[in-house]
Structure 1
Amino acid sequence: MLRIENVSFAYDDVPVLENIDLRIQRREHVAIIGESGCGKSTLLKIIYGLMDLEQGEVFWEDEPILGPAYNLVPGAPFIKYLSQDFDLMPFITVRENISQYLSVFYPKELEERTAELLEMIELADFADKKVKTLSGGQQQRVALARVLAQKPEILLLDEPFGHIDNFLKNSLRRNIFSYLKENGITCIIATHDYQDVLPFTDRIFVLRDRKIMVKGKPMELYKNPKELYIASLFGEANSISIDVLKSYANTKRRIIVYAHEFRVSETSGIPVTVKKSYPMGSHFLTEGVMEDGETIFFNAPTELSADKELFLNVSLETINQRIQTNRIT
């Protein structure tokens, strides 16, 4: 088990993390999500052992993870950290970068492992290219294979797909997270992309204002977000008063409704005037204004013209589900 106990951290007296307590099981995959600058990368560096702590401790099983004040070479040997800086050797080939940490005393195993990792990152055709000739996204994939070649007990991923083309991301995610599960590698990913999270992680920790705001299973947090901030990490969302959604309701408590949960009607519902439509491929994200002047975002199957007046509805099932969730105020 990885234990992060009462960890606080500051840069030049500016607090970044406060009283962080986490327990992560062996083989578990977890995500740390939150807006840019909330401390995700800092927390990964602390777990790896790149930072000295004035408050708190980090343990893997019973072994403390200590910072550079205690280790000549910072970083725990049983953890590998893939940061947003790739740390590759640019003047040697992709194959050589990946196989660098494999034993030359077992040439057949070295060749097989290197080939396996090249296939996983979908760069077999680039095996003999020098790394300096690759794109940023290709270099990021090489860096990922390079850390996996070392068979870590824990893998820390900091925005691991940030430089990779969209058409490759989905297959790479499936390849990599399947590989980690099959090999029993504990994984902690810091990301702002919910597509890294929902299909592939066991739990989520949401960071905000230097603290863990909430934690839970991905689909539970997605379906029952306790605050608008949490919902916004998964997609476009709105905070709506219940008496606006249902005119007979005698309460102004607010619940969260995702843009895709609205249904457009020509006859009844919440009166909305369209301001702008944004094409999203399978639908149009539409910005509208309610009668009280509040902005609302909803999905529509077709483009809607500006100033068009229409109505929006939300299913009673969705409303009841959100009412049972802790509401925002």
Structure 2
Amino acid sequence: MLEVNNITFAYDKAPIVRNISFELPQGELLSLMGESGCGKSTLLKAIYGLIDLKEGEVRFHNQRVWGPAHQLVPGHSTMKYLAQDFGLGPYHTVAENVGKFISNLDLDYKKERVTQLLTLVGMERFAPIKALNLSGGEKQRVALAMSLAQEPKLLLLDEPFSQVDNFRKNDLQRTLFAYLKEQNISCVVATHDGRDALSFSDKTLIMRDGELLHFGDTLTIYAQNTDFYTASLFGEVSWYKDKLFKPQQITIAPERTDWQAVVQHCYYQGAYYLIEAIAADNNKTFFYHTSSIEKGTKVALQARE
């Protein structure tokens, strides 16, 4: 169980993280979402014990997590924090980078474990390659394998897929998060992608200006449409008559309605088009349609039942 109790942190006078509290049961996946600069990375560092908190405390399995002022080596032994700089040894091979966290007492097991972890992140054929010769996305995948080599009980990931190609990202996410569930490893992921949260997270925490705005089951937070900021983190959102609507909640009406809009753009999404229109109140409106609609076309809209 991870317990974050009313923590506050500031580099100078203005707090970057203020009064954050939540609990995460062992084995659950948490998405940490919010705009850039809202404090997500700082919160991850606070949980891991890389910074000294001004107020509050972090506890993991009933043990206090201390900052660098209280311990010689920063960080927590049963957690692993993967920052955006990856931390690879550039002149070591991929296999050596992953293997340095595995004991040499059983070399056959070590070799097998390195291969298993590299296969998990799709990097097994890069084992003999030096890290300096890898692309950013490849380094990011090796860094994930390195973090798992230390067999953490809690994994803290800061934008872990930001440099991974989309066609690899989807498979990597499915494989990684399934592995974490099988191993009962808790995970906190800082992400900008609402699709990541919806696909894999048990819980989601929404931050804004260093404060906790919402925390709870991911599907509940998504379904509630609680505010424009939160809803927009999961995708396009429209505002009409003091209500928020997602694109799938809006359709073209068969006859005239009070909700009138003029089409501005059509974005092909594969199975459908995302239509961007300007409503009579000058607010942008987004909805899905099965075919393209010519720019300037006036449409009558309604909420789906």
Name the TM tier (shorter chain).
Answer: over 0.9
**Where do residues 96-115 of structure 1 align in structure 2 (5 Å cutoff)?**
96-115=96-115
Query: 2:303 & 2:45 partners in 1: Cα distance?
Result: 43
> What secondary structure, in the 3-state scheme, does the structure 1 residue paired with 2:10 have?
strand
Q: Which residue of 2 aligns with 1:262?
A: 250
Query: 1:5 & 1:219 partners in 2: Cα distance?
Result: 24
Q: Which residue of 2 aligns with 1:184?
A: 184
RMSD over aligned Cα, in angstroms?
Answer: 1.4
**Deviation by residue 1:182-220 (Cα, 9 ceiling, x = unmatched):** 111111111111222112111111111321111121112
**Where do residues 92-171 of structure 1 align in structure 2 (5 Å cutoff)?**
92-171=92-171
Q: Which residue of 1 aligns with 2:39?
A: 39
**Where do residues 197-236 of structure 1 align in structure 2 (5 Å cutoff)?**
197-236=197-236
Deviation at 1:283, TM superposition (A): 2.8
> Could you tell me which amino acid in structure 1 is paired with residue 294 of structure 2?
S
Query: 1:196 & 1:41 partners in 2: Cα distance?
Result: 17
Query: 2:145 & 2:158 partners in 1: Cα distance?
Result: 14
Q: Which residue of 2 aligns with 1:305?
A: 294
Contact 2:37 2:209 in 1 (8 A): no
**Deviation by residue 1:282-317 (Cα, 9 ceiling, x = unmatched):** 33322212223333222222222221112112123x
> What secondary structure, in the 3-state scheme, does the structure 2 residue paired with 1:199 have?
helix
> Could you tell me which amino acid in structure 1 is paired with residue 283 of structure 2?
E
Using the size of structure 2 for normalisation, the TM-score is: 0.95
Unpaired stretches in structure 2, ≥5 consecutive residues: none
> What secondary structure, in the 3-state scheme, does the structure 2 residue paired with 1:277 have?
strand
Contact 2:8 2:17 in 1 (8 A): yes
Query: 1:111 & 1:209 partners in 2: Cα distance?
Result: 45
> Could you tell me which amino acid in structure 2 is paired with residue 293 of structure 1?
N
**Where do residues 48-63 of structure 1 align in structure 2 (5 Å cutoff)?**
48-63=48-63
Deviation at 1:266, TM superposition (A): 5.4
> Could you tell me which amino acid in structure 2 is paired with residue 78 of structure 1?
T
Query: 1:54 & 1:69 partners in 2: Cα distance?
Result: 12
> Could you tell me which amino acid in structure 1 is paired with residue 75 of structure 2?
G
Q: Which residue of 2 aligns with 1:17?
A: 17
Q: Give the number of the structure with larger relative contact order, counting CA–CA contacts within 8 Å between residues 6 or more apart.
A: 2
**Deviation by residue 1:123-172 (Cα, 9 ceiling, x = unmatched):** 11111111111100000000000010010111101111001000001110
Whether 2:70 is the aligned partner of 1:82: answer no
Query: 2:240 & 2:161 partners in 1: Cα distance?
Result: 34
- Stretch deviating more after TM superposition (201-210 or 46-55): 201-210
> Could you tell me which amino acid in structure 1 is paired with residue 38 of structure 2?
C
Query: 1:210 & 1:126 partners in 2: Cα distance?
Result: 39
Contact 2:265 2:277 in 1 (8 A): yes
Query: 1:65 & 1:314 partners in 2: Cα distance?
Result: 48
Distance 1:295 1:196, change over 3 A: closer
Query: 1:45 & 1:294 partners in 2: Cα distance?
Result: 39
Picking from 302, 307, 314, the partner of 2:303 is 314
Deviation at 1:44, TM superposition (A): 0.3
Query: 1:195 & 1:287 partners in 2: Cα distance?
Result: 20
Unpaired stretches in structure 1, ≥5 consecutive residues: 242-253, 317-329
Using the aligned pairs only, state the percent identity: 40
> What secondary structure, in the 3-state scheme, does the structure 1 residue paired with 2:278 have?
strand
Deviation at 1:53, TM superposition (A): 1.1
Query: 1:262 & 1:288 partners in 2: Cα distance?
Result: 12
> What secondary structure, in the 3-state scheme, does the structure 2 residue paired with 1:21 have?
strand
Query: 2:278 & 2:154 partners in 1: Cα distance?
Result: 48
Query: 1:32 & 1:49 partners in 2: Cα distance?
Result: 17
Contact 1:266 1:310 in 2 (8 A): no
> What secondary structure, in the 3-state scheme, does the structure 1 residue paired with 2:68 have?
coil
Deviation at 1:281, TM superposition (A): 3.3
Query: 1:202 & 1:290 partners in 2: Cα distance?
Result: 36
Q: How many residues align?
A: 304
Query: 1:116 & 1:92 partners in 2: Cα distance?
Result: 19
Contact 1:93 1:128 in 2 (8 A): yes
Q: Which residue of 2 aligns with 1:276?
A: 265
> What secondary structure, in the 3-state scheme, does the structure 1 residue paired with 2:234 have?
coil
Deviation at 1:12, TM superposition (A): 1.4
Distance 1:145 1:121, change over 3 A: same
Contact 2:7 2:57 in 1 (8 A): yes
Contact 2:10 2:54 in 1 (8 A): no
> Could you tell me which amino acid in structure 2 is paired with residue 74 of structure 1?
P
Deviation at 1:75, TM superposition (A): 0.8
Q: Give the ranges of 4+ consecutive aligned residues of structure 1 lying more than 6 Å apart after TM superposition.
A: none
Query: 1:291 & 1:81 partners in 2: Cα distance?
Result: 48
**Deviation by residue 1:38-62 (Cα, 9 ceiling, x = unmatched):** 1111000000111011211111122
Query: 1:208 & 1:239 partners in 2: Cα distance?
Result: 20
Q: Which residue of 1 aligns with 2:70?
A: 70
> What secondary structure, in the 3-state scheme, does the structure 2 residue paired with 1:189 have?
strand
- Stretch deviating more after TM superposition (79-88 or 276-285): 276-285
> Could you tell me which amino acid in structure 2 is paired with residue 51 of structure 1?
I
